Amino acid sequence: METLLLDADAVDEHSPTTAVVDAVEAAFAAHARGDTVMPAKSYVDLPRYDGDFRSMPAYLDAGDWDAAGLKWVNSHTENRRRHDLPTVMATMCYSAPETGLLLSIMDGTTLTTKRTGAAAAVATDRLAVRDATTLGLVGAGAQSHAQLDAILTVRPIETVVVADADPDRAAAFVEAVRDRVDARVGSIPEAVACDVVSTTTPVRDPIVDAADVGAHTHVNAVGADAPGKHELDDDLLAAAKLVVDDREQCTHSGEINVPYAAGRLTDDDIHAALGTVVIGEATGRTPADGVTVFDSTGLAVQDVAAARVVYERASAAGAGVAFDLLGR
């Protein structure tokens, strides 16, 4: 009857990549089958503090297990300068669906990073060419590491090209991963010519041109998570086989939100939601496909599925700090 408190290190230690990828895949499938409850993300705007809170609740029934939880995440743009705190922080509350007992309070920032990489791996497995061996990364932040870790579980990546506005950060990424892959710093055109590409930047003006992308490249568009953000040019999106994690979220705040609002893209341009591809209701990559794009905004069911992985493994290992929240 106790609640388990898990910090970032514990979440990282007890979220093996393969297990998280499998859990996120199950979450996509449950969502496509209609076996989830996932209210829209709600916002608490705090303009006096240059920030906001977002709540992301969800329940999913994966068949042989179910799970529920709530991610509470902030975005305070002045945190670094004013308070020496991260701009974005997240906390995951993981609960037992049957009783409502709060099973765990865990770091949600590390959890988010890992489930985002896992979602790209699920998409890559369905949409990239089977013999993909090269990965291009546009952006060399924390998410770039999660993308590489997860995509390595579904494709035999041998070569990585990373492009970043900060050359020192790109060089640090190469140094960190060179024991696993042949990695080098390159330009954006060099990165997006690879078999698989993940873009993880916060830009509002597209930095990936259609002319630079490989003829059969798969792109995981991860960076756009709010209205106005936009990494890939409209011509690329219009020509690609376009798969989204959730139609409503993507048209509002995903990679396609800008051209969709402008009427450059319509519902007819969206091939499918990824969950329908996972369960076989829609096609993934076919021999006739050229460029494919996965628009990833992040779903609360992914957080809940990943949290279950962490909780089950941490509990079995006796990790974290257990406390009696109910006072019984």
**Helix (H) / strand (E) containing 43:** strand 42-46
Contact predicate 53/46, CB 8 Å:
yes
> Among the residues of the chain, which ranges form H helices?
8-13, 17-33, 79-83, 108-127, 142-151, 167-177, 188-192, 234-239, 247-253, 257-261, 274-278, 300-317
Q: Using DSSP bridges, classify how beta strands 241-244 and 36-37 pair: parallel, antiparallel or unpaired.
A: unpaired
What 3-state class would DSSP assign to 298? coil
Annotated active-site residue in 41, 71, 114, 241: 71
> Is 229 within any annotated ligand binding site?
yes
**Is residue 241 flagged as an active site residue?**
no
Question: For residues 203 and 292, what is the distance between their CA atoms, to the nearest angstrom?
Answer: 21
> Is 115 within any annotated ligand binding site?
yes
> Is 307 within any annotated ligand binding site?
no
Helix axis angle for 142-151 and 108-127, nearest 10°, is 40
End-to-end CA distance of the chain: 9
> Is 223 within any annotated ligand binding site?
yes
> Is 142 within any annotated ligand binding site?
yes
> Is 143 within any annotated ligand binding site?
yes
Question: For residues 83 and 48, what is the distance between their CA atoms, to the nearest angstrom?
Answer: 15
Closest CA to 203 of 176, 177, 230, 239: 230
Cα torsion through 287, 292, 296, 299, rounded to 10:
-20
> Is 320 within any annotated ligand binding site?
no
Cα–Cα distances in Å, from 318 out to 104, 123, 173, 288? 13, 33, 33, 50
Contact predicate 111/15, CB 8 Å:
yes
> Is 224 within any annotated ligand binding site?
yes
What letter represents residue 42's amino acid? Answer: S
Binding-site residues from annotation? 115, 142-143, 223-225, 229, 296
Q: Which residues participate in catalysis according to the annotation? A: 71
| Positions at the binding site for NAD(+) | 115, 142-143, 223-225, 229, 296
